[in-house]
């Protein structure tokens, strides 16, 4: 039996295109034949490393790439880790002004929902905090 090659790492911090999440947990994600340790921001333009490790760090600065692509995003799924966390109402309003709806859930649920909506070719993005 040939040994299976380990997945490539996500060294550049950005991969163009839409990709589903193959697996999540152990502090990271697998997608597009690669693995990444840490959180991810999945946008219509591509997947990027996201330096957010806790729900309290989700703010306008961390979601600026979402705002930049707001015309191509109708819904942002936010995975806040193992538990659902509240998002600042002002941030929710800021996204609504940009035409982006917001749905907050556990990271696992957000990843699964994202995969389904991408499969339906919906205008969706996801901000996923990595879980152990």
CATH number of the domain residue 52 falls in: 3.40.1230.10
pLDDT digits (tens, 9 = 90+) for 98-108: 999 999 999 99
Nearest Cα residue to 15 out of 51, 49, 62: 49
Give the model's pLDDT for residue 9.
58
Count of domains observed in the chain: 1
Domain that holds residue 122: 12-128
Q: How many CB atoms lie within 10 A of CB 69?
A: 16
The span from the CA of 1 to the CA of 89, in Å, is 55
Q: Identify whether the C-beta of residue 24 lies closer than 8 Å to the C-beta of residue 131.
A: yes
pLDDT digits (tens, 9 = 90+) for 32-84: 999 999 999 999 999 999 999 999 999 999 999 999 999 999 999 999 999 99
Higher pLDDT, 93 or 6: 93
């Amino acid at each position: 039996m040939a040994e299976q090659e380990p997945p490539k790492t996500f060294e550049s911090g950005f991969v163009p295109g839409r990709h589903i999440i193959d697996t999540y947990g152990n502090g990271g994600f697998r997608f597009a034949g690669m693995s990444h340790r840490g959180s991810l921001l999945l946008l219509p333009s591509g997947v990027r490393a996201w330096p957010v490790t806790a729900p309290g760090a989700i703010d306008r600065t961390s979601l600026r790439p979402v705002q930049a692509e707001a015309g191509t995003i109708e819904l942002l799924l936010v995975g806040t880790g193992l538990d659902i966390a509240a998002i600042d109402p002002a941030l929710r309003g800021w996204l609504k002004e940009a035409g982006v709806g917001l749905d907050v859930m556990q990271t696992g649920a957000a990843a699964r929902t994202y995969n389904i909506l991408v499969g339906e070719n919906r205008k969706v993005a996801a901000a996923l905090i990595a879980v152990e």
